Amino acid sequence: MKEHDTSTQDQVNEQLNQLTALLKALDGQANLVKEKEALSALTEEATALLASKPNHPSGDALQALVEKNKELLASSELTPEAFATAKKQV
């Protein structure tokens, strides 16, 4: 569009739609980073709890959850839904 002095409304709308989609994607990535940090903090808290109370009755279940969360945090295929589910479980 820079090469032209005039653009059609359809061209302007298309560019606006593309920019809007890119901004939403960036916002989604920022939210995903925040969710990852929150899950990481919860996982660290759970790990510390397990270390301080090794004979806790629900220790085995919590340990399995910690391992699952560590795998999720290391995964390259992260989704907001996966983080939300993992946070609720911890």
Q: Which residue has the higher pLDDT, 37 or 78?
A: 37
pLDDT band at 14 (very low <50, low <70, confident <90, very high): confident
Q: Which tokens is 51 given?
A: 């270390």
**How far is residue 66's CA from residue 85's CA, in Å, rounded to a whole number?**
13
Task: Identify which has the larger pLDDT, 61 or 90.
Answer: 61
Q: Which long-range contacts (CB under 8 A, 24 or more apart) does 42-51 make?
A: 42/69, 42/87, 42/90, 43/69, 43/70, 43/73, 43/90, 45/90, 46/90
DSSP 11-58: HHHHHHHHHHHHHHHHHHHHHHHHHHHHHHHHHHHHHHHHHH-TT-TT
| Per-residue model confidence as pLDDT tens digits over 38-67 | 888 988 998 898 889 888 888 888 888 889
